[in-house]
Amino acid sequence: MSAPTPGNFERSAGPVFNVPWAVGALALALILIHGVLWFAGEEWQTWAILTLAFLPARYGGTPVPTLPGSEVWSFVTYALLHGSWQHLLFNLIWLVIFGTIVARQLGIAKFCLLAAISAAGGAAGTLAAYWGNMGIMVGASGAVSGLLGAAMPIMYGKPAGEGREPLRFVELIRDGRALAFTTVWLGLTLFSGATGWTGNSFADDFRIAWEAHLGGFVAGLAGFHALYRRKPFQAANS
């Protein structure tokens, strides 16, 4: 057998890291935002918090300095900020893992939309638990939890033709593997919320906003089933 030519080798060898460009771009943006604010100092960090972070006090609590409109866009933009490099690192790891799975299945546009929906779901979960509270929530944890929820039907999908078909919601809740995975994730979420070992979502008092994890997870799972379009059933030719 002859040795492969350089051309054949290049065609057969795949990239070491095959991450969709949108996932990589989002990860890079989060790193740049945190790095710039870290170097910019306290004044710019305060501005970013008042402009982009999610503050439950904006909604029926003690009035806080705010930019008009931030009560709307902060449902998503809080995910661009992080309380520490440790907090950012953990979110980047899960973003790359589960974001890659979702982006490959849904495509770039729907991946970006689902990430935003998940972030908003995380903010809604936090608002429901801390209405009017003066806490300051930052971090992509809600969005990442939503991507994890969206990845589950894909990871445990059933064989279909030459690939795999994501599970429907009813099939998912009947799948023992998916339920076990959810149980482990929920346990880790509650543990991290109690210990803060993955970094702090509440920038002011060093707590993990585990409610945002749950809200994002539910929003991401529901959002995936709303955005994913299944191919119509085609009977085999006789």
What's the average model confidence in pLDDT over 87-92?
92
Q: What is the pLDDT of residue 162?
A: 67
Mean pLDDT, all residues of the chain: 82
Q: Residue 55 gets which letter from DSSP? A: -
Q: What is the pLDDT of residue 61?
A: 66
Residues 6+ apart with CB under 8 A from 123: 54, 74, 75, 76, 78, 137, 142, 212, 215
Strand, coil or helix: 139: coil
Does 220 have pLDDT greater than 60? Answer: yes
Enclosing H/E stretch for 122: helix 108-129
Higher-scoring residue by pLDDT: 74, 159: 74
The structure's pTM equals: 0.82
Ranked by mean pLDDT, the top range of 35-44, 110-119, 150-159 is 110-119
Q: Which CATH architecture has domain 20-227?
A: Up-down Bundle (1.20)
Higher-scoring residue by pLDDT: 196, 188: 188
CA 113 to chain CA mean position, Å: 11
User: Which residues lie across from 137 on neighbouring strands?
Assistant: 54, 202
Does 2 have pLDDT greater than 60? Answer: no
Does 163 have pLDDT greater than 90? Answer: no
Q: Are 219 and 147 in contact (CB under 8 A)?
A: no
pLDDT digits (tens, 9 = 90+) for 5-42: 444 433 434 444 589 999 999 999 999 999 999 999 99
